[in-house]
Structure 1
Amino acid sequence: MKKLFIAALLFVGVASFAQDTDNATQDHKEHRERMTPEQRNEKQLKKLTSELTLDANQQAQVKQLLADRSAKAEKFREAREANKDSNVKPTAAEKEAFKKEMMAEKDANDAKMKAILNADQYTKWKTIQAENKDKAREKMKEYKKENNM
């Protein structure tokens, strides 16, 4: 009887702990601050400045590049939202065209960054991008695993 009581207590404790963890994650997502595009750009500029030791001229150029990139991203987001509202799914050709457009935009941004940064800074920037891509891939795997996708 004593073992059954201990097992029941253990089960209830584990179940309540699991629920608390889920709620904590949900609360964290809800309380995560929503930044404006300008705030995100400033935060990214500060991070790049410290990691790549940008000078004042480079900071101004990178700030302009980030602002341009944010404006284009917002246009893409609005177009995607408009397509969602119409309940029409994009065709394979439209998806491929969008993918090509996004790759061209990425390549153009890379070329602009290469023109702004010196060789060492550019190499370090590409390394940071690769690390961030790996982190994003890992987060996506975890998300899919958690949501059984």
Structure 2
Amino acid sequence: MKKLIIAALLVAGITTYAQEKKELSTKPKMERITPEQRQERQLEKMTSELSLGTKQQQQVNEILTEQNAKRKKMMNNVKATKQEMKIKRAESKKRMQEERLLMEGKMKAILSPEQFDAWKTNQEKKREKTERRMKERMQKRMKGEMKN
């Protein structure tokens, strides 16, 4: 009898929990608004909160327009900088790969096949160790940024 009651409570609890999740997932998604719409809303809000006159509304609207233009310019600069960094990173990676291949060719000419295999294995271990350290640093940075 006790087992039957416990099982019934468990089923009721699971059912209730599952229904709560469904309700959360059916929330309407927010629409993206344009910068102009955002500016209009901001002006309307400031007008109602601060009781702005028509002249003040025009002046505030000019300031908001200027601010939006600066924000847009800054966003474009950030995008351009990101693209430049991607290109530089790709070039650097390619250059490093070429250097590594040259080094391998020179070492292959000097070392015996067994020595070359051992050297290459050691190089791979070093590369993996470096990559692992870099990942750890990035994770620490991300944790530090999340705390701030």
**When the two structures are superposed, what TM-score results if normalisation uses the length of structure 1?**
0.49
Using CA pairs under 8 Å that are at least 6 residues apart, name the structure with larger relative contact order, 1 or 2. Answer: 1
User: Greater CA radius of gyration, 1 or 2?
Assistant: 2
